[in-house]
Amino acid sequence: MVLNAQAGKEQALEELLTGAASVIEQTEPKTLLWTALKLNDNTFGIFDTFTDESGREAHFAGKVAAALNAQADDLVVGGWENGVLPNIHNFEVIAEAEK
């Protein structure tokens, strides 16, 4: 997912994403990986993987999704409906390599 911060809200969005990692780690056992990315000064990304569909559903019903939803109109260009939701893309992992 790619999120574009509202002008002047870049730091606030970055702080929300930075703080989200520990919340997800503590409250979402079926989230295998959650990574926040900073692509440039106002563009951020999230990449996450889940054990199964129930893990993905739990993630979107979780505390971080609720916090982002509550603050999206202020922090994200397009808010929740037009800035967050259209940028969520679900994929099926067909191969992976671990070291």
User: Residues 12-60: pLDDT tens digits?
Assistant: 999 999 999 999 999 999 999 999 999 999 999 999 999 999 999 999 9
**In angstroms, what CA-CA distances link 80 with 64, 77, 83, 94, 95?**
13, 9, 5, 29, 31
Planar angle of CA 21, 22, 24, nearest 5 degrees: 65
Q: Is the pLDDT of residue 98 over 90?
A: no
Q: Provide the residue range defining the domain that includes 6.
A: 2-87
What CATH number is given to the structural domain containing 48? 3.30.70.100
Give the pLDDT band of residue 93 (cuts 50, 70, 90).
Answer: confident
Residue 89 token pair: 């893309």
> Does residue 95 fall inside a structural domain?
no
> Does residue 93 fall inside a structural domain?
no
* Rg value, the chain, Cα: 13
pLDDT tens string 73-84: 999 999 999 999
**What is the number of domains present in the chain?**
1
Q: What is the mean pLDDT of residues 63-79?
A: 97
Q: Distance between CA 39 and CA 43 in Å, rounded?
A: 5
Q: Distance between CA 94 and CA 99 in Å, rounded?
A: 17
pLDDT for 61 equals: 97
> Does residue 99 fall inside a structural domain?
no
pLDDT for 92 equals: 86
> Does residue 92 fall inside a structural domain?
no
pLDDT for 3 equals: 98
**pTM, entire model:** 0.91
Q: Distance between CA 93 and CA 68 in Å, rounded?
A: 25
> Does residue 74 fall inside a structural domain?
yes
